[in-house]
Amino acid sequence: MNILINSYSLSIGGGQKILNDFLQYLQDIIVKNKKMMIFVFVPNQLDYVKFENKQLKIFELPFILKKKVMRPLVNNYFQKKIEELEIDKVFSMGNIALNTQKPQLLLFHWAYAAYPDKSIWSNMDTKSYLNRKIRLYLFQKNLKYVNTVIAQTENIKQRLHQYYDIKNIVIIPNSVDMDSHLLDRRYAFNLPDGEKLLCLTHYYTHKNLEIFIPLAQKIKEKKLDYKIIITIAKNQHPLSRKLLKDISKYKLEDVIHNIGPVKFDEVSSLYNQCDALLMPTLLESFGLTYIEAMFFKLPILTSNRDFSRVLCKDMAFYFDPMDANNILHTIKKVFSGRGNLEEKVNKYEPFLEGFPTSKEVAKRYIEEIVKL
């Protein structure tokens, strides 16, 4: 059986973690099936060539096809590869299926498609809006080539059924063992003194990072010892550049501390040096940082939304993500000891035990591919 895995778009964030964990354990799984050959198309071949063996081959798209304007030609490239490699089944891990008649499994983790009804669609710049509308069109258009969709939560499964009438959906959550990227290494981030609230994310409009400006202003006005730690780069998005300029413009560097993007093997140290997770996000398909925060026993302060409540249940402190006053009230509640913090944190460990390990997730993926 020849399997093509389309993961070329998983270059950052949670998608990158999913791919790395999958390939790490895929080697152990396929060795038991000598008739299985797997061809994986990744964002950067050099980052993943270490996973290659006789049954697992790593490929990278030609450089020209990585440009967004060339995306329409990507499907033609894959069609040729499917024929050339005599592919029997396809696993698309990047939300958009390939145009192929071969049996296909699709991994879904794009929150925008699951929430087409939310105001976040009208609160973005024109370029981002058009890019996402094109992606949404391709997602819907290519669903007809999909046999089975993997969702990460029951909430996302219900939304996919509601908005796209997808019937064959299986739930496979993210793993929680953290062993592939949260390594126990000591890395000094030179963080400021005070209660450090971590928002670990690249810049995306739906992460709602702009709310940190009025929040930081209130923290500064009241002379509170809270520090907001963000991890963005100015080149991630036109609005990330603006956000960083606004932090400087309003002289909020003493409250909002940007350390820039964090490498996988530095994440563990960062969590260990912070006091809580602060996520004012407006959309999530899963919310990996919630799980990571639980792993490190940090209080979780996050948006009062269905996606966060489905995952965090009664273990988080919820706020209105559009109201800086409400966010600050929640922060005060946590650090003043008025929020039954210990009770919530004590629930983390038994909750995490119910999640699969990375190896178990990889095994489930392969089982679903074989079923096609």
Confidence of residue 178 (pLDDT cuts 50, 70, 90): low
Report the candidate in 73, 87, 83, 61 with the shortest Cα–Cα distance to residue 8.
61
Structure confidence at residue 260 (pLDDT): 94
- The percent of residues in the chain predicted with pLDDT above 70, rounded, is 96
Go through the domains of the chain in sequence order and give each one's CATH number. Answer: 2-175+357-371 (3.40.50.2000), 195-352 (3.40.50.2000)
Structure confidence at residue 68 (pLDDT): 67
Confidence of residue 180 (pLDDT cuts 50, 70, 90): very low
> Residue 185: pLDDT above 60?
no
Single pTM value for the model = 0.87
Name every residue whose Cβ is closer than 8 Å to that of residue 303 and which is 6 or more positions away in sequence: 208, 279, 280, 281, 282, 318, 319, 320, 321
pLDDT higher for 90 or 46?
A: 90
Report the candidate in 151, 127, 141, 40 with the shortest Cα–Cα distance to residue 98.
141
> Residue 78: pLDDT above 90?
yes
> Residue 14: pLDDT above 80?
no
Q: What is the signed CA dihedral for 300, 304, 310, 316, rounded to 10 degrees?
A: 20
Reported as a single tens digit per residue, the pLDDT across 20-46 is 888 888 878 887 788 899 999 998 888
How far, in Å, CA of 360 to CA of 260, rounded?
32
> Residue 176: pLDDT above 80?
no
Structure confidence at residue 177 (pLDDT): 66
Structure confidence at residue 195 (pLDDT): 96
How far, in Å, CA of 244 to CA of 256, rounded?
10
- The percent of residues in the chain predicted with pLDDT above 90, rounded, is 66
Instruction: Look up residue 353 and give its two tokens.
Output: 């035990």
Structure confidence at residue 69 (pLDDT): 67
Q: Count Cα neighbours of 71 within 13 Å in the Cβ-side half-sphere.
A: 10
Reported as a single tens digit per residue, the pLDDT across 102-124 is 999 999 999 999 998 767 777 77
Instruction: Average the pLDDT over 288-293 and give the result.
Output: 92
Give me the chain's average pLDDT, please: 90
CB atoms within 10 A of CB 8: 23
